[in-house]
Structure formats: structure tokens, C-alpha cells
């Protein structure tokens, strides 16, 4: 389970006039955002994203929301509203549509364009409903109004959900850049209007709730990029999210100004920027883009590479460059720009990449050393502004780890939202809005669903524990051949180790102990192979622990003849 709640029982039946909110991801973590709204037995989903694995989840590719709550109720789903096209909000859509392919996907033009491109790789032809700010659409009992919000990807939306139970304003991810590159401002007038009409529950992005002040404008980055480009004498490599259209646009503009050609590196970067260009969100002058192979043959001072890997992902292009496992070879005096924020938990991986690039002679420019990125999430000053504009009757912080949710709750309290009206929930905790009051009423199962290669949900926590032990401590195998009738040893024991750091010659000490223990067991009438294997496991495990203070995986194999 990702967030077990032994203190909370299953929720009671929802009152006929109540609205139920069930977060299945994104609360208590950064990623896999997904919330289910229920009214009169009908369901509306907002977002369906993925979480990227931690180092202690070896072999896992992605982590999905737990769809168990929807099992048997998929036909009750009216639609899935997508606030924007970041992976932590859309990445799990292919897996949801495996369960019911005709769930309508509702979103802006760019969001649906990127989703369609992703789904094409999964051979899924989705049902799509395009909306834009100012639109009103009704899905079953849910009337949705869409509002523009500024974020680190174009075309992001907030959604106001109206039912007879009340009005919920879900901000999605947002910030309040007053000079956005695309001129599309967060609709503060719309937020204020909704506040005047009455918002029963505000669900607001909490990612930067601990950060004081207001956000730095995207426009402030352009002169910094220009300066870095001006100082770079060799190749320039810019790493950013494959969905950050605004940042890529700024890099393209800088490349034009400094007479450099541009090549995209990484499958997702090529795919997403192709979609953004086709839909008119990315302006690419003719002749600017070149193929990667062509870029490799050009003089280094005439090239800019825009790559994935700003979070230190092990298989990303930039990480492979740092490890000299990529066709692009980092050379002394190359300039690498990490144009993104650090996602909490990725710090070690990112600094490992920075050190690897620096060791190869590159100059690495990142947010800690220059203004090459600004966050897409509203800091505390802007969150307070929204709270004061909306004046919600109830408040529920979303999209953040526990520290972010608590900080956002404190901000709400400072603006006058009563403590009893502030609901801090996490994944699986059920919140009901009844008669204008939001309260926690129970919890539903909400575990991590691991994607490992082609398997979905088959990897368990127990298996991950085994992987961690194997990775950290190695294993010791014990092979014994016994007589099936008497239980006496016929051959062996043979003891071998891999990755444990124990010299195999040392196992000569433990073999007599295994033989003695199995002989006593045989004398006592123990002939069961499983019991003998567990006895061998205990003997070897204790010996290794006593002599080496290690706990490798012990794999006994008893063969009967």
C-alpha cells in the first residue's frame, strides 16, 4: 500500500445530495495525480498521471494510480478531465483506457494533441472533447467551467465543477506569471467571479507552498540564456522537460540570435515538439532544425542540442552522455544547461549527472548557479492571493508532499478559512461535501501499481524488497542432494555467492554445520525437502550474520533422489 489508513474505515454510502471526492494519487507525493468525483452514482475523473520510481524501487519503470476503486464502476465514468499535458497528469491515461477505451478525454488543444500522440504508440484511438478557457460543458450531473491558468506548459486549465451539492474549484497546476511568453494569464477575474458566486471547496496546487513571494517571470530567463550562449565557445546542450514548450521556444530564439542550428535529442522530446509545432504552439524558423546525425558532423560552435534528462533519469539522453554511453560524446568546454527545477527526491541523481558532465570537461549551468529556469507552480504569495480572491467555504490542498500540504493549509488558515473547514487528505482518503461542509469520511484501498516492462501491477512490495536485498547484499545459494526416503545427504552441500562480498573459500566453515544439522534432522525423521531447505537457510544466514554482519538473500535448493 502506498498510503495505508488503518485508522479509517471504508466510507459509508454517499448521501443523495452529497459530492464525494476520492484522490487516487498526487496527495502526499509529487506525481500520479488523479481525483475521482462522485455525485448520484456517476463519476468524473480529473487527471490521470504517473509517478516516477525512487532508487529503492529497482526495475520499476512507472507507478500508476490504483484503479481498484473504479473496478466494477467504469461504466459510471462520465469523462476524464485533463488539466494539462505533463506526465504526472496524463501519463497513466493509456492504462486507464485499457480498462474502458471509450472514456471521453476532455482537455485543451495542446493537451489532447500530446495525449493523442502518446496513445498512438499504445494503438489506442481515444474519444476526445476539446475545450478552452471560457467553455462550459456538462458531463452527466457535472457541469464543468474551464478557466485559463499559466503553467510551465501552454494551454493549462483550471476547472470549476458544479453539482447541486456545491461548487468545487480545482486549480490544476498553476502560477501567476504576469508577463507570460504566450500572453495567456491565469484568469484571476474568473477566480474572483467564482468566489463572489460562492465556492464550496477549493482544491489548489501546493507544490511551492513553502516558497515565499511570487514567481519569477519566464521573460527574465531570455537574457540569461543569451549571456550563456554568448560565452559558449563550443557545443551547447540544453536539458529540460520534453513538454516545456516555452523553454524550448526560448532556446530556439537564442539559437537563431547566435546563428546556431538545433537538434532534438530523445524520443519524447522529438515527439512532443513535433506536436507543439504542428499545432502552432512552437515557432520554428525554416532551416533551424537539423537531424542529430547532421548535428554531430557540424562544427561544435554552430550547434545546440535540446535533450531530455534534466532530472537525472538513468536511461535519459543526458545521463547516458554523462556516463559516456551515448553517441554524443561530451567534450571539454561544452556547455550544458539544466533548464528545470529539481523534483523532490531526484537531487542525488541530478548531482551525479552534473558531476559526471563536469568530470568530462563540460561547463554545467543550472538553476542553482544562474536563472535558467523558473518554476511552473505558484509560491506562497500567489497562493495567498488566490485564497483571498476565491474565499472558499472549505479548502483542500492538493498536488504535494505532506510538508507542502501542511504549509498550504497554514496559508489558508491565515486568510480566514476556519480550521474545521480545512481538509488535509492523502491518497485513498475519502472526502464528502455535504450541506456545504467538507469532511473526511473514510478511506479506500490505494496502493502503488508498478509498471515493469510489459507487466502492470504484477510486481509486489515483497518482490521489490527482494530486489533491494539482491542489489545491496547479493545472494548465497546452497545446493544439497538428499535421499528421498532417509533424508540423508547424498551430495553437497555446495555453497556459492554472488555480490555478497564473501570469499567462497570461507564457506568451508559453514558446510560442516549444515551437514550436522541435516543429519540430526534426518535422525529425527525429517525428510521433507522444504523443511530441510529452511533449516539450511537458517544455518547459513546465522553464520553470515555472525561473521560478516551482512544479510544477503539465502537461496537453498534441496534435490531429492
Task: Dump the DSSP string for 328-349.
Answer: SPP-TT-EEEE-SPPPTT-HHH
Exposed, middle or buried, 298 (CB in 10 Å: 0-12/13-18/19+)? Answer: middle
38 and 152 share one domain: yes
Enclosing domain of residue 503: 474-560
Peptide bond into 493 cis (omega under 30): yes
Check whether residue 345 and residue 399 sit in a common domain: no
Distance CA 419, CA 416 (A): 9
Strands 303-307 and 261-265: parallel
Same domain, 409 and 353: no
Nearest in space to 85 (alpha carbons), one of 57, 99, 105: 105
294 phi, psi to nearest 5 deg: -65, -40
What's the pTM?
Answer: 0.83
> For the chain, what's the residue count?
561
**Strand-pair partners of 107:** 130
Q: Are residues 192 and 52 in the same domain?
A: yes
Are 229 and 300 within one domain? yes
CA 20 to chain centre: 25
Nearest residue to 203 (alpha-carbon basis) of 37, 434, 39? 37
C-alpha cell at 498: 554472488
The H or E element spanning position 554 is strand 553-560
- Looking at the domain assignment, is residue 11 inside a domain? no
What tens-digit pLDDT sequence spans the chain (561 residues)? 456 677 888 999 999 899 999 999 999 888 899 999 999 999 999 999 998 766 666 566 678 899 999 999 999 999 999 999 999 999 999 999 999 999 999 999 999 999 999 999 888 999 999 999 999 999 999 999 999 999 999 999 999 999 999 999 999 999 999 999 899 999 999 999 999 999 999 999 999 999 999 998 989 988 999 999 999 988 998 988 888 899 999 999 999 999 999 999 888 889 999 999 999 999 999 899 999 889 888 999 999 999 887 665 656 778 888 888 778 888 899 998 888 766 666 667 777 888 888 888 888 888 777 777 788 899 999 999 999 999 999 999 999 999 999 999 999 999 999 999 999 999 999 999 999 999 999 999 888 877 776 667 667 677 767 666 666 677 788 888 877 777 677 777 888 877 777 777 777 777 888 877 777 777 777 777 777 788 888 888 888 788 877 778 888 887 777
Distance of CA 501 to the CA centre of its chain: 35
Which of 493, 468, 479 has the alpha carbon at shortest distance from 553? 468
Does 447 share its domain with 510? no
Kindly compute the dihedral angle of the four CA atoms of residues 127, 132, 134, 136, in this order, to the nearest 10 degrees: 0
Q: Are residues 119 and 193 in the same domain?
A: yes
Does residue 370 form part of some domain? Answer: no
Say how many domains are in the chain.
Answer: 3
> Using CA atoms, how far apart are residues 134 and 131, in angstroms rounded to an integer?
9
485 to each of 41, 320, 482, 561, how far by Cα in Å? 63, 56, 9, 9
- 11 Cβ partners below 8 Å, 6+ apart? 20, 430, 432, 441, 442, 443, 444
Final residue of a structural domain among 331, 365, 399: 365
Please give the span between the terminal C-alpha atoms of the chain, in angstroms, as a whole number: 43
Amino acid at each position: 500500500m502506498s498510503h495505508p489508513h488503518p485508522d479509517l474505515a471504508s466510507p459509508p454510502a454517499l448521501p443523495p445530495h452529497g459530492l464525494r471526492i476520492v484522490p487516487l494519487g498526487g496527495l502526499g507525493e509529487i506525481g500520479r495525480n488523479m481525483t475521482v468525483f462522485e455525485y448520484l452514482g456517476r463519476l468524473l475523473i480529473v487527471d490521470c498521471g504517473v509517478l516516477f520510481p525512487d532508487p529503492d524501487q529497482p526495475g520499476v519503470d512507472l507507478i500508476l494510480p490504483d484503479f481498484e476503486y473504479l473496478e466494477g464502476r467504469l461504466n459510471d465514468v462520465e469523462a476524464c478531465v485533463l488539466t494539462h499535458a505533463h506526465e504526472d497528469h496524463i501519463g497513466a491515461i493509456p492504462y486507464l483506457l485499457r480498462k474502458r477505451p471509450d472514456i471521453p478525454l476532455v482537455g485543451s488543444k495542446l493537451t489532447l494533441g500530446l495525449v493523442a500522440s502518446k496513445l498512438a504508440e499504445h494503438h489506442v484511438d481515444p474519444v476526445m472533447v476539446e475545450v478552452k478557457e471560457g467553455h462550459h460543458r456538462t458531463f452527466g450531473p457535472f457541469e464543468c467551467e474551464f478557466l485559463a491558468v499559466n503553467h510551465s506548459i501552454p494551454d493549462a486549465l483550471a476547472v470549476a465543477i458544479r453539482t447541486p451539492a456545491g461548487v468545487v474549484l480545482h486549480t490544476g497546476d498553476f502560477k501567476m506569471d504576469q508577463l507570460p511568453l504566450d500572453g495567456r494569464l491565469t484568469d484571476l477575474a474568473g477566480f474572483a467571479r467564482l468566489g463572489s458566486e460562492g465556492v464550496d471547496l477549493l482544491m489548489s496546487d501546493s507544490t511551492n507552498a513553502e516558497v515565499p513571494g511570487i514567481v519569477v517571470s519566464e521573460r527574465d530567463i531570455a537574457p540569461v540564456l543569451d549571456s550563456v550562449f554568448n560565452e559558449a565557445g563550443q557545443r551547447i546542450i540544453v536539458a529540460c522537460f520534453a513538454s516545456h514548450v516555452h523553454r524550448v521556444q526560448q532556446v530556439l530564439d537564442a539559437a537563431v540570435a547566435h546563428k546556431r542550428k538545433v537538434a532534438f535529442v530523445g524520443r519524447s522530446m522529438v515527439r512532443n515538439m513535433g506536436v507543439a509545432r504542428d499545432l502552432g504552439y512552437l515557432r520554428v524558423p525554416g532551416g533551424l532544425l537539423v537531424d542529430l546525425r547532421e548535428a554531430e558532423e557540424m562544427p561544435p560552435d554552430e550547434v545546440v542540442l535540446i535533450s531530455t534528462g534534466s532530472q537525472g533519469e538513468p536511461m535519459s539522453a543526458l545521463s547516458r552522455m554523462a556516463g559516456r554511453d551515448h553517441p554524443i560524446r561530451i567534450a571539454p568546454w561544452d556547455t550544458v544547461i539544466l533548464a528545470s527545477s529539481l523534483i523532490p527526491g531526484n537531487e542525488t541523481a541530478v548531482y551525479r549527472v552534473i558531476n559526471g558532465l563536469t568530470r568530462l570537461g563540460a561547463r554545467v549551468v543550472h538553476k542553482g548557479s544562474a536563472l535558467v529556469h523558473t518554476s511552473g507552480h505558484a509560491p506562497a504569495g500567489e497562493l495567498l492571493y488566490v485564497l483571498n480572491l476565491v474565499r472558499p467555504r472549505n479548502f483542500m490542498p492538493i498536488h504535494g508532499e505532506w510538508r507542502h500540504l501542511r504549509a498550504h493549509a497554514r496559508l489558508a488558515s491565515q486568510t480566514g478559512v476556519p480550521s474545521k473547514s480545512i481538509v488535509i487528505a492523502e491518497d485513498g482518503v475519502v472526502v464528502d461535501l455535504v450541506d456545504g461542509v467538507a469532511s473526511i469520511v473514510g478511506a479506500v484501498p490505494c496502493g502503488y501499481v508498478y509498471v515493469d516492462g510489459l507487466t502492470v501491477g504484477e510486481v509486489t512490495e515483497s518482490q521489490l524488497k527482494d530486489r533491494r536485498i539482491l542489489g545491496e547484499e547479493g545472494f548465497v545459494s546452497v545446493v544439497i542432494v538428499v535421499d528421498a526416503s532417509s533424508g540423508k545427504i547424498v551430495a553437497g552441500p555446495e555453497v556459492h555467492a554472488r555480490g555478497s562480498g564473501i570469499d567462497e573459500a570461507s564457506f568451508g566453515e559453514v558446510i560442516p554445520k549444515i551437514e550436522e544439522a541435516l543429519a540430526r534432522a534426518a535422525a529425527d525423521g525429517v525428510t521433507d525437502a522444504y523443511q530441510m531447505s529452511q533449516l539450511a537457510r537458517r544455518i547459513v544466514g546465522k553464520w553470515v550474520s555472525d561473521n560478516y554482519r551482512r544479510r544477503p538473500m539465502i537461496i537453498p535448493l534441496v534435490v531429492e533422489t
